[in-house]
Chain A
């Protein structure tokens, strides 16, 4: 299993540009989440999904869109990048249907700089 994969690893954007951060998991997990981590801070939840076609907002959703058309993929879209969105973005997944484990597995992160 590759686990949770994220692409790209690094990205530099100019203010106003849009882009999509990719996240995929091969563990057949139902739940997927996006977090951001600013320097010296803990992670903050952006959006999450409890299954294909179902998404909801976390603590800091403004400026981001998500959709979940398949169980495996959960892309995060930045609509119009701002310097305040400079951060490290982590994707996570958890819970297999019929299972008893809810622990989250995290990807390696995407380091985004907006200039």
Chain B
């Protein structure tokens, strides 16, 4: 599976958009980009995933560059409850078989 690189930490003001970048320059054609987050020692929570098109759901938007070597997770209106560690993971989808390789993630601190 391709590796990912994320900033260690980021701050965001409450109510503003949080843009979390992820580099995955070795991504291969069948690999998806997944985002999970972990709020203070709870189990990780799935946010969104995508292959090459931009995706949006009720939690976030995912922007993937045309060459697929990087992506950005956007939380449009960050709240204090969005303070968490955000993990960007690249993995094949249909052969995922429950194996996710987590990196260190980005600690997002949303401030009042």
Residues on A facing B (Cβ under 8 Å):
4, 31-33, 35, 41-45, 48-50, 58-59, 88, 90, 92-95, 102-109
Within 8 A of A (CB), among B58-112: 87, 93-94, 96-105
Q: Are B41 and A88 in contact (CB under 8 A)?
A: yes
- Most B CB atoms within 10 A — which of A44, A45, A88? A45
Q: Are A41 and B98 in contact (CB under 8 A)?
A: no
Among B43, B49, B94, B101, contact of A107 (Cβ-Cβ < 8 Å): B43
How far apart are the CA atoms of A44 and B103 in the complex, in Å? 9
Among A43, A94, A106, A107, contact of B96 (Cβ-Cβ < 8 Å): A94
Q: Total number of A-B contacts with CB less than 8 angstroms?
A: 63
Interface SS, A side: strand
B interface size (C-beta, 8 A)? 22
Residues of the B chain whose Cβ atoms lie less than 8 Å from the Cβ of A32: 98
How far apart are the CA atoms of A48 and B87 in the complex, in Å? 20
Q: Are B104 and A41 in contact (CB under 8 A)?
A: yes
Nearest B residue (CB) for A108 = B43
Q: A44-B102, A48-B99 are in contact. Are A108 and B94 (CB under 8 A)?
A: no
Among A43, A48, A102, contact of B44 (Cβ-Cβ < 8 Å): A43
Q: Are A43 and B102 in contact (CB under 8 A)?
A: yes
